[in-house]
Amino acid sequence: MVLEADLISPGTGKRAAMREVKPPADHPPLKARRIGVLLVNLGTPDGTTYWPMRRYLGEFLSDRRVIEAPRAIWQPILQGIILSTRPKKSGALYASIWNKERDESPLRTITREQGEKLAAELAAEEEVTVDWAMRYGTPSIVERMNALQAQGCEKILVFPLYPQYSATTTATVNDKAFEALMKMRWQPALRTVPPYHDDPAYIDALAESVEQHLAKLDFEPEVVIASYHGLPQSYFRKGDPYHCHCQKTTRLLRETLDWPKTRLIATFQSRFGPEEWLQPYTDKTIEQLAKDGVKRIAVLNPGFVADCLETLEEIAVQNREVFLHHGGEKFSHIPCLNASAGGMRVITKMVMRELQGWL
């Protein structure tokens, strides 16, 4: 009989010795044991015409985490009214920022680049495979998790790319990841990256981005606005921590920049429907600042890790027009961290931290 101890040569550990044990010759082929990392952002349509937009909006606005209204009330409104009119309007907005060279939205372009750069950062970890997905649209979470499992990933780290937690974003990504597991016979172990709204690496990257951008301007903003995606007030009252996370990010960024409270303020954009959302609203705040005589402002979007429709069109175009129309003179949008060196430092740090014990 060969004992395990007999397989261990002098100076090697038990773990190294066990790696040398080979399966029997007639054993079915084994895949290499790998670890998957899946970056996930919100989503994007596949095109700007009616049907791609309708499919995307239909999936997004049918998510019970996003719209909590009773299905019997909401679905007739969605199918009968919203999906008849909104795809054309939203498609025109997407067309104005579309990456025509790759025929895709900027969000897809940037998320792919983040995945490629993360893979390069982790190249020394040969057992790690990096992939990316979208919660709505393609490539889907289920598709990419199945692909990772097919490549031999026995452990998968899912990274919802949202610094501030909300049930409407982080939770629905996690829901979909676990839904994918439900249909797998051999389930990989699963971890998810927690929110990082107050992580020093994230705050420092934001501060560096702000300072570098402002240094290039030919004016000094009197006010800088940190605009976050909005959320219905009712979700906040039910216990969603998103508002608190946004306020903490803003406070820590302000302290890092050593600015007074009046120089950096938090607002909320992209409200939808008649319900009251988190306030102050970004567009109303920008309008009021202009009416109050503020002539120079800059806006950043700390809650978005990649530029998208809400930043490139809603802020950089629509809200610029609001400010100038009401008397403002100078407006600048500060890009998201995207796949910049600072942005990738944050993503890499979060991933390496959560992979501890697996590598």
Annotated binding site for Fe(2+): 229, 310
Measured CA to CA in angstroms, residue 217 lies from 23, 210, 211, 220, 229 at distances of 64, 11, 10, 7, 25
CB 87 within 8 A of CB 50: yes
How is residue 21 written in tokens? Answer: 């044990």
What's the token pair of residue 296?
């120079």
Residue with tokens 């050593």: 258
Q: How far apart are the first and last CA of the chain?
A: 33
Tokens of 335: 């890009």
Annotated binding-site residues read 229, 310
* Amino acid at the residue 28: P
CB atoms closer than 10 angstroms to residue 54 = 19
The residues, ordered by sequence, that sit 6+ positions from 115 with a Cβ below 8 Å of its Cβ are 39, 130, 131, 132
Tokens of 140: 């889907």
